[in-house]
A and B are shown apart, each in its own frame.
Chain A
Amino acid sequence: MNNLAIAAYGLRKSYGDKVVLDGVDLSVPEGTIFSLLGPNGAGKTTAVKILSTLISADPGSGDIRVGGHDLTTDPQSVRAAIGVTGQFSAVDGLITGEENMLLMADLHHLSKVEGRRTAARLLERFDLVDAARKPASTYSGGMKRRLDLAMTLVGTPRVIFLDEPTTGLDPRSRHNMWVIIRELVADGATVFLTTQYLEEADELADRIAVLNNGRIAAEGTADELKRLIPGGHVRLRFTDPAAYRSAATTLPDAARDDESLALRIPSDGSQRELRYVLDQLDAAGVEADELTVHTPDLDDVFFALTDGVRVPAPTKVAAR
């Protein structure tokens, strides 16, 4: 087993009466990508803020170690080991991209020559050479995000926190960001990634934890999580409200979506189960206007875990 880059036990944080994190355990082995997945307001950003020393955890929390250093007793050593790129860009908009990079080099106490070299190398790598002499406030969203990450990498951090790094980016910029994130791990860094996009977590992460209402609802590899919902579902859509209602009575297991007149029936997609559904519909004399079979994807897991309807939370997939 590798050493842990991040180990947090019983992470708690509340603002007044509002509990944001309610006892979260996290362990991330070195050199892996860990994704914290959850809907807006689940507490993802709060977790990043605590782990990156920006805010303090509540006193009831257990031990938290990042990069091998204790977060409470030795925050400066943690800071020396990490890099953070937040959801909102952390660049100085008043100065140019290059000046932002040199500012980081100075704050990491690189020599002048070394600082210039590092800045030039990263500007090149992130395709920012042409814009280097322009004020960062004039950059597009994708450029700002790249500059932001480039600044984070000046200090060659061993643990990198990326808080929703692709939120608000167009598809091409998102894919570019994915390529960059994979390169970071190839270079030996550990990446802690938060996202609300299942596709992103599925694509990148070695392990995924689903955060909902301040608790980890499930944790595992993408495949392990998908196995939580054994068979995906069959979706039936109707145009006739009367047919929809009688189908709903015939199939009491179905989750109803009254707005779009659709039913979701848990199913493993096998011929036998499918025939059962069709037989039931035939017997009731209703015909669906559309029938689709969904094999399970992370979306199903996500909805199941975060609305608490189909799978009782919290569920923990045994770590292997």
Chain B
Amino acid sequence: MSTLALTVRDSSTMLRRNLLHARRYPSLTLNLLLTPIMLLLLFVYILGDALGSGIGGGDRSGYLAYVVPGLLLMTIGSTVIGTAVSVSNDMNEGIIARFRTMSIHRGAVLVGHVVGSVLQSVASVVLVGAVAVAIGFRSRDAGVLDWLAALGLLALFALAVTWIAVGMGLVSPNAEAASNNALPLIVLPLLSSAFVPLHSMPGWFQPIAEYQPFTPAIETLRGLLLGGEIGHNGWLAVGWCVGLAVLGYVWSTSRFDRDPA
């Protein structure tokens, strides 16, 4: 078999292992899914009126439209916290030492985690999106291409933060540390344009919020689903995703290649 065929075969074996874990122990996945759905309901039904008039969008349904793109990305952030935790747990299992002494593709363990996690992220995004639609979210004249582009961006974003989360899981000695280390992935959306517009933030903070990874992705999603100007945000978002994915990949694989303690 060629190297590529071996890589694909071993990685898909590892992916099946991870999906089996997720199916046997769904509680972690469900807990992490609950957070964005709770936030969605909280921001729309409890804070929606005040925040809606605050952003000048008027009412609750206006705010629903505003907040959904950010919450979809936050869903990804919270899913990959689960990835960091399960990678860290996995590395403490004896079976990883066994994998390392077997003639299998070296990166297969990590690729299995990444693909499994991206699939979970996409599934979670679809679910949170469905809840949003159920409570009244509607896109404004977004065509099929816009929807596909939006889904593509979400998948790419998931890939990028998943590789980062895998690296965080690898450097964490245990599950608690992994969950703490991955916390920025769920805090960063709070410091973006997800919930309030940039111009409502203090002037000194606006550049930070504007150029951190979440804001360009959120603005691009808004442009695709709700119409409006995407501008440089599209390239910025794709650039961030590619950069983070490469960084996370290099970090994780070099970390995994080191001698275990």
Contact with B along A55-89 (1 / 0, CB 8 A): 11000000000000000000011011010101011
- Selected from B10, B21, B93, B97, the residue in CB contact (under 8 A) with A107 is B10
Closest chain A CB from B84 CB (angstroms): 17
Beyond A79-B103, A107-B104, is A92–B97 a contact (Cβ under 8 Å)? no
Task: Name the CB-closest residue of A to B98.
Answer: A90
Q: Which of B84-135 contact A (CB under 8 A)?
A: 93-95, 97-104
- Given contacts A90-B94, A94-B25, is CB(A106)–CB(B101) below 8 Å? no
Q: Does A291 contact B (CB under 8 A)?
A: no
Q: Chain B residues with Cβ under 8 A from A93's Cβ?
A: 93
Q: How large is the interface on B (under 10, 10 to 19, 20 to 34, 35 or more residues)?
A: 20 to 34
A84, A90, A106: the one within 8 Å of B13 (CB)? A106
B247, CB-defined interface residue at 8 Å: no
Partner of B259, one of A56, A84, A90, A152: A56
Q: Are A107 and B13 in contact (CB under 8 A)?
A: yes
Determine the distance from Cα of A88 to Cα of B93 in the docked complex, in whole angstroms: 9
Is A242 an interface residue, CB under 8 A from the partner?
A: no
A89 proximity list for chain B (CB < 8 A): 94
Nearest to B106 among chain A residues (CB) is A76
Interface pair A99/B97, CB less than 8 Å apart: no
Q: Are B101 and A52 in contact (CB under 8 A)?
A: yes
Q: Mark A157-194, 1 if CB is under 8 A from B, else 0.
A: 00000000000000000000000000000000000000
Specify which of A79, A95, A155 is in contact with B24 (CB 8 Å cutoff).
A95
Q: Which residues 7-41 in B have Cβ within 8 Å of A in the complex?
A: 9-10, 13, 16-17, 20-21, 24-25
Inter-chain CA distance A52–B93, complex, in Å, is: 18
Which residue in B17, B20, B101 is a CB contact (below 8 Å) of A54? B101
Asked if B101 contacts A53 (CB within 8 A), the reply is: yes
- When the two chains form their complex, are residues A92 and B102 in contact, meaning their CB atoms are under 8 A apart? no
- Assuming the contacts A54-B260, A106-B13, A107-B13, asked whether A84 and B94 have C-beta atoms less than 8 A apart, the reply is no
On chain B, the residues within 8 Å of A53 by CB distance are 100-101
- How near does chain B come to A98, taking the closest CB pair, in angstroms? 12
Nearest Cβ on chain B to A67's Cβ, whole angstroms: 11
| Distance between Cα atoms of A86 and B101 in the complex (Å) | 11
Do B260 and A107 touch (CB < 8 A)? no
Q: Tell which of A84, A94, A109 touches B101, judged by Cβ atoms closer than 8 Å.
A: A84
Q: Is B4 an interface residue (CB 8 A)?
A: no
Is residue B1 within 8 Å, beta carbon to beta carbon, of the partner chain? Answer: yes
Which chain A residues lie closer than 8 Å to B21 at the CB level? 94-95
Q: List 26 A-B contacts (CB under 8 A).
A: A53-B101, A54-B97, A54-B100, A54-B260, A55-B260, A56-B259, A79-B102, A79-B103, A89-B94, A90-B93, A90-B97, A90-B98, A91-B95, A92-B17, A92-B93, A92-B95, A93-B93, A95-B24, A103-B13, A106-B13, A106-B16, A107-B10, A107-B13, A107-B104, A109-B9, A135-B24
Nearest first, the 9 closest Cβ-Cβ pairs linking A and B are: A90-B94, A90-B98, A80-B103, A79-B103, A55-B259, A106-B13, A52-B101, A84-B101, A92-B95
Q: A residues engaging B (CB < 8 A)?
A: 52-56, 76-77, 79-80, 82, 84, 86, 88-95, 99, 103, 106-109, 135, 151-152, 155
